[in-house]
Amino acid sequence: MNAPLSRRTTLQAAGVIAAAGLAGSIVGTAQAAAAEEPGAAGDRVVIHPTLPKVPVNNSFTVKVRPLGGTWQKLGVYLAKLALIDANTGSNRAQNSSWAAFDFSGTVEVEVTYNPGGGEKVRIRPDSYGIKPEVLGSTARFTLDQPRNLVVQIDDKIFDCLHLFANPIEQDVPTEGDKKVMYFGPGLHTHPDRTLKVPDGTTVYLAAGAVLTSAVIFENVENARLIGRGVIYDTTGGAVFVRKCENVTIDGVTILNPRYENIRVAESNNLTIKNLRAFSHQGWGDGIQLYCSENVTIDGCFLRTSDDCVALYTHRWDFYGDTRNITVKNCSLWADVAHPINIGVHGNSDTPEVLENLRYKNIDILDHREPQVTYQGAIAFMVGDSNIVRDVRFDDIRVEDFRWGQLIHMRVEYNPKYNTSAGSGIESVYIKDLSYNGKNADLSIIAGLDAEHAIKDVTFENLRVNGRVIADSTGKPRWYLAADGVPMFVNEHVTNLKFLTTAEAEAAAAS
């Protein structure tokens, strides 16, 4: 979920800081040339300059080369991650590793686990089907397209490598352009730790750039935050977008924010692409959307200490519906809370709507949440008179997680966050959802009462450990299909269906 109400003051104050002349005061040194290794037939590798201030981690040595080319070593950096003690509630930061590079064509990757061991090497998401060659403590594999990967040695959850293989940048902004805040390789910081972006401006973080300021878009149009650089160690959230139109965030990495990585409110026509974000402190959501429309989140990797992607309506002084949201081609890992969360916050006085929500081609790598009422790799926790409707999931692959539920879908009244119960959940279609594992607890679909209910939820080709869950097949006739998940469904849920693909196609054709 989110931080207490008082935490909002930091970002609000940042949002009103004047930006006149700011770019000139914080533009970094001239960009150093990134090391580039050409290969045959268009195979290229671009190595990023060293990141100043960002701590390194020596668990892994990582080398890359274009197919048949010369090996080059990558910088491997520290990522801090969260581990909640279920008995005390304490959050113990854990050390992990990450590295990044750009390439085109085909690239070879060599990963060595320096402490030794490495009898088992797993490259995730599992859906990519990458099977490395393992030679002692070293694994080798090839890539022929950009990927966000996790390399796990002997099933270690934290002491693993997050490897971000980017496409080579195109149309890089020009240093000195009046509409560009250009940050070359190096450390960029200033006393107030905020960067307010003017209308029509591109903030460019070159590979090797480290910005220690929160980036604020407020009441602007046609602005961008792009590049291969890093936003690091911000005192509040890392990026705030409010009352904006046509904003793009593409390619950057966020490390160690004090709160959420990106918060968006009351904005329209927003694109977030190829974002990589880590958090370890409380309320460390990946992407929060409030009262916004026409938003696309595409190709992101989020490993967070709260919800990875959370969709809400009203909170604080944000007002309005949330609609036309697409989340696709992403990998989500929630060390705390939910990979996907929908509907907690809203407006009890003037109810709002979350609608036309689309989730496509997503790998959920992990979910760990000890609190039963906050579980759910996919969670609808609908309160504050919200109604959630017209939601579609397609091709969602959930790997075995540490602690939680596959589905948690409730209309609820949670007095910690809500001033009223949610109004309802309607018209949810979940196609090709798969879960492979043994750790999932009992899933829940439950309305609150007859007036705050759930209706018209359909699962098509739901697979649990390879078994299709359907009303018509694979069970004794007196069992519920939901028993095969297993899932608890209460009496305030109507028109819940579990269909095979053939049944769904026949129904669509009739």
Give the model's pLDDT for residue 34.
Answer: 60
- The sign of the dihedral angle between the CA atoms of 8, 11, 13, 15 is negative
Q: CB count, 10 Å around CB of 45?
A: 29
What residue ranges do the domains of the chain occupy? 35-167
pLDDT at 5: 30
**CATH code, 35-167:** 2.60.350.10
Among 442, 452, 450, CA closest to 414 = 452
The answer for residues whose C-beta is within 8 angstroms of residue 402's C-beta and 6 or more apart is: 157, 366, 367, 368, 439
Is 335:289 a contact under the CB 8 Å cutoff? no
411 φ, ψ to 5°?
A: -90, 125
CA nearest neighbour of 413 among 402, 403, 424: 424
pLDDT of 42 reads 84
β-sheet with 60-66: strand ranges across: 72-73, 60-66, 107-113, 138-143, 133-135
For residue 301, give Cα distances in angstroms to 68, 98, 165, 278.
Answer: 29, 12, 11, 9
pLDDT profile of the chain (510 residues), mean per 10: 35 32 37 59 92 98 96 98 96 97 98 90 98 95 98 97 98 96 96 96 98 98 98 97 98 97 98 98 97 99 98 98 98 98 98 98 98 97 98 98 98 98 98 98 98 98 98 92 98 98 95
Torsion of CA 224, 230, 234, 238, to 10 degrees: 30
- Cα–Cα dist 133/131, whole Å: 7
Q: Mapping DSSP to helix (H, G, I), strand (E, B) and coil, where does residue 9 land?
A: helix
- How far apart, in Å, are the Cα atoms of 509 and each of 255, 469, 500? 49, 22, 14
Ordered DSSP codes for 193-207: -EEEPPTT-EEEE-T
Identify the pLDDT of residue 510.
87
- Give the list of residues 6+ apart from residue 175 with CB closer than 8 angstroms, or none: 27, 30, 31, 182, 184
* Residue that the structure tokens 């892994």 belong to: 60
Q: What is the pTM of this model?
A: 0.93
pLDDT at 40: 59
Q: Are strands 138-143 and 107-113 parallel, antiparallel or unpaired?
A: antiparallel
**How high is the pLDDT of residue 21?**
34
Give residue 110's identity as a one-letter amino acid code. E
Whole-angstrom Cα distance, residue 118 to residue 57? 18
Is the separation of the CB atoms in 242 and 270 below 8 Å? no
Residue reference for tokens 């290969």 = 39
Please give the angle made by the CA atoms of 140, 299 and 55, to the nearest 5 degrees.
60
CA gap 100, 32 in Å, rounded? 17
